[in-house]
Amino acid sequence: MTTPPAAATAVPAPPRWAVRAAHLAAVTALPSGLWRLGLVAGWHGGYTEAGYRAMGFSGWGAVWPVFLSLSTEALALLTIGLVRPWGTVPPRWMPFLGGRPVDPRAVVAAASLGAAGLALLWTPFAAWWAMPGADMTPRGHFLVGFLYLPTVAWAPLLAAVTVSYHRRHRRHPATATATATATATATATTAPRPRAA
């Protein structure tokens, strides 16, 4: 088991509610993503025959729904970083950021913008059943509304976990000292020692 860097261990542990909220946020996009992947695999997913053909889910038409499903779920999984040590110091295998402490202010800003964007994008799906569904069967239109409904919760869950992340990093000034100490120690141990004459 890898020992977390000093900067990560200096931050207080997240409250239990934040851990649960982060894991819940990470799966909010999963039902709709699986639905899109099913469409690419040939399942009509609630569309009428004509509606399914009009969507063009074969060939290059399959690239967008697959990309959207995978990238959306990857972004949702990033929420877990707000309650894990790798949200303070990314693992070493990550390009550009690995092994170096991140600026909590940048993390909070990015997560806050993400929450605002998600609210604008997904909140309208709460009114899915009031939207027309001419290219879908009545049962399919009803079902798809339930598959997209969890995404509405993504924004408030991410916002709540972001507030928790901000509070934990703001209330613990030792983080900055631990970060500086860890960086100085790493530099000292990797620097070549001069040879005696």
Q: How far is CA 3 from the centre of its chain?
A: 24
Q: How far is CA 182 from the centre of its chain?
A: 27
Looking at every residue in the chain, the average pLDDT score rounds to 83
Residue 83's pLDDT is 95
Considering Cα of 157, then 10, then 75, then 46, what sign does the dihedral take?
negative
Q: How many domains does the chain have?
A: 1
Other beta carbons within 10 Å of 45: 22
Residue at 189 is within a domain? no
* Segment 142-158 mean pLDDT: 94
Residue 179's pLDDT is 46
Q: Residue 183 — pLDDT band, cuts 50, 70, 90?
A: very low
Q: Rounded to two decimals, what is the model's pTM?
A: 0.79
Residue at 176 is within a domain? no
* Segment 58-66 mean pLDDT: 88
Domain that holds residue 105: 13-169
- Paired with 47 in beta bridges are 136
Which residues, other chains included, contact 102 with Cβ-Cβ below 8 Å and sequence gap of 6+? 87, 88, 89, 90
Q: Residue 189 — pLDDT band, cuts 50, 70, 90?
A: very low
Residue at 66 is within a domain? yes
Q: Residues 128-140: pLDDT tens digits?
A: 888 888 899 999 9
Residue at 174 is within a domain? no
